[in-house]
Chain A
Amino acid sequence: MPLDASDLGAIWLTFKLASLTTLILLLVGTPIAWWLARTRSWLRGPVGAVVALPLVLPPTVIGFYLLLALGPNGWIGQTTEALGLGTVVFSFTGLVIGSVIYSMPFVVQPLQNAFTAIGERPLEVAATLRASPWDCFVHVVLPLARPGFITASILGFAHTVGEFGVVLMIGGNIPDKTRVVSVQIFDHVEAMEYQQAHWLAGAMLVFSFLVLLALYSSRRGKSAWS
């Protein structure tokens, strides 16, 4: 068996983290993306920019600020302590919070593009056919934006799997709690265990390629609304 128990633990933890992060991002990102796609408020620019920040910032910068905010003296940390939850840095919960922020643009932007592409007309048609805005969202917008949701889920998941800097800053390196695959590879290399590193790195490479292959192959000649 080329992968030992700690490797498998890291893979399982990574899978758990990416799944949970993607789920939360779909729930949080959908209203944000809908608002960004529809609003005429001046806040659209600033909010869009904040959501996109993780695209350009070094993960260490996000990790540094998260560390301060989630730590015992940070405002989120003080809130979680006041609620009796303790601080969440160096815990799985902290990793989830960090990943949600880090992968936010990879979910919000495909959704926003999908919503924008739907345009005004289907919503108007639905309204003239007695559908309330919520009814219309569920029965017209969601099905029409399905390709966008698929893209958003895949990118959100894959990007969280590939996370390293933020994890290291706020999660540390605790087996089965915060030691994800990327950190495990780093450890193997540090320890000169190149054979182990090869197996994990190779698996990541194949996984990432397959994900992107699935994504780009499914995007052929589909227009949402004609």
Chain B
Amino acid sequence: MQSMIHARLKVTRNDFKLDVDLQLPGRGISALFGHSGSGKTTCLRCLAGLERASDAYIEVNGQVWQDSRRNHFIAPHLRPIGYVFQEASLFPHLTVQGNLTFGWRRIPAQSRKVSLDQACELLGIEHLLNRKPATLSGGEAQRVGIARALLSSPQLLLMDEPLAALDGPRKREILPYLERLHAELEIPLIYVSHAQDEVARLADHLVLLDQGNVQASGPIAATLARLDLPLAQGDDAGVIIEGLVSSYDSHYQLLGLQLPGSTLELRLAHAPLALGTPLRLKVQARDVSLSLAEDASSSILNRLPVTVSGHQAADNSAHVLVSLDAAGSVLLARITRYSADQLGLHGGQQLIAQIKSVALLG
């Protein structure tokens, strides 16, 4: 992985200590994930220069933004970033258009990569231009906030829990726009969140923060599937599988998704999609059961041959977490310890994984 963002930060504040060394990819969405108080927002604020860590080295795209050893610190307004706050934080004295062009007007014309029209179209806010922020709904305001950050043509986009202040329907209103950004933008985005579903939907790279330390950092699918991390322990544990649409059965209305690098296919009930469309699925560990032999009498749609690659006691002693290799893709299964003993579970064992349901993300 070619690292484009390097941030080594040490912050000590009252009873909180942050000590991280982040290497993040120069493209795609990197999620900083952790409980409140884990230091994820502080990391983001240090990257933006809104907070000045006493001991820090920050380098983005080959430019050093902070090097405390040389007492070098670039002020936030000189960093080519876009920042989306948890609350939209629009300027109340300006119209939506005034807000959108605030950063845009402050960069040289030749540096402008996004036009007002493009940003409005991307976030669906064309009709709001003449409104005052006070008249917008929470979801609309946050879309304006995101577009405003984009219009400053940043080289790095930072988002601090942009959906946390919104209710469920508003969240679902914005997520598709974030996915569009992901698909259409070339610039890296660092996304702070404590919501696992958002991270699973959006992120390519996952950094797990715990009490000011990096617990894990890696590609999302591999990191979510790691048995040694608390993510795999929860009831919500599961893996992400990215694949391409490979078939469509119009009679049964089943969409086939080919697992990367294999001939295995997962099927789900869905409207037809063009062959080759990339899709991201979540498979929950609790929805995967294991059997020794192919059981054609079952109603379960997806049955894949897998090899046991590891197992570990779950957060309670009645369950076992099993990691499985399905022709290169990783699956997690959460089964009872009783069943594990009945199967004679061991590493390298060939089993059939029966997947009760798969969820399409986005």
Closest to B80 in A: A130
Are A125 and B152 within 8 A (Cβ)?
Answer: no
Are B77 and A121 within 8 A (Cβ)?
Answer: no
- Contact residues of B between 67 and 101, Cβ < 8 Å to A: 75-78, 81-83, 85, 87, 89, 91-93
Identify A226's interface contact among B49, B78, B92, CB under 8 A: B92
Interface size counted on chain A using CB atoms at 8 A: 21
Chain B interface size range: 20 to 34
Closest to B104 in A: A129
Identify A131's interface contact among B77, B134, B148, B149, CB under 8 A: B77
Q: A132-B77, A140-B91, A225-B92 are in contact. Are A125 and B106 (CB under 8 A)?
A: no
In the docked arrangement, what's the CA distance between A121 and B165, Å? Answer: 16
A162 is an interface residue with CB less than 8 A from chain B: no
B102 is an interface residue with CB less than 8 A from chain A: yes
B50 is an interface residue with CB less than 8 A from chain A: yes
A122 is an interface residue with CB less than 8 A from chain B: yes
* Contact residues in B for A130 (Cβ distance below 8 Å): 77-78, 103, 106-107, 152
Are A121 and B85 within 8 A (Cβ)?
Answer: yes
In the docked arrangement, what's the CA distance between A202 and B29, Å? Answer: 71
Are A226 and B134 within 8 A (Cβ)?
Answer: yes
A200 is an interface residue with CB less than 8 A from chain B: no
- Contact residues of A between 192 and 226, Cβ < 8 Å to B: 224-226
Identify B91's interface contact among A125, A127, A128, A135, CB under 8 A: A125
Are B50 and A128 within 8 A (Cβ)?
Answer: yes
- Contact residues of A between 134 and 154, Cβ < 8 Å to B: 135-136, 140, 143-144, 146
* Contact residues in A for B133 (Cβ distance below 8 Å): 226
B306 is an interface residue with CB less than 8 A from chain A: no
Q: How far does the Cβ of A47 sit from chain B's closest Cβ, in whole Å? A: 25
Which of A125, A126, A135, A146 has most B Cβ within 10 Å?
A125
Closest to B154 in A: A128
Closest to A144 in B: B93
B221 is an interface residue with CB less than 8 A from chain A: no
* Contact residues in B for A122 (Cβ distance below 8 Å): 89, 91
Q: A121-B89, A226-B92 are in contact. Are A129 and B102 (CB under 8 A)?
A: yes
Q: How far does the Cβ of B196 sit from chain A's closest Cβ, in whole Å? A: 27
Q: How far does the Cβ of B144 sit from chain A's closest Cβ, in whole Å? A: 12
* Contact residues in A for B93 (Cβ distance below 8 Å): 140, 143-144, 146
B240 is an interface residue with CB less than 8 A from chain A: no
In the docked arrangement, what's the CA distance between A124 and B134, Å? Answer: 20
Closest to B84 in A: A128
* Contact residues in A for B75 (Cβ distance below 8 Å): 127, 132
Given A125-B89, A129-B148, 20 more pairs with CB closer than 8 A: A121-B85, A122-B91, A125-B85, A126-B77, A126-B102, A127-B50, A128-B81, A128-B82, A129-B77, A129-B102, A129-B103, A130-B152, A131-B102, A132-B75, A132-B77, A133-B77, A135-B106, A144-B91, A146-B93, A226-B133
B residues with a Cβ closer than 8 A to A are 48-50, 75-78, 81-83, 85, 87, 89, 91-93, 102-103, 106-107, 133-134, 148-149, 152
3 smallest CB-CB distances across A and B, nearest first, come from: A129-B103, A128-B83, A130-B106
Q: List 27 A-B contacts (CB under 8 A).
A: A121-B85, A121-B87, A124-B83, A125-B91, A127-B49, A127-B50, A127-B75, A128-B103, A128-B149, A128-B152, A129-B77, A129-B103, A129-B106, A129-B149, A130-B103, A130-B106, A130-B107, A131-B77, A131-B102, A131-B106, A135-B77, A144-B91, A144-B93, A146-B93, A226-B92, A226-B133, A226-B134
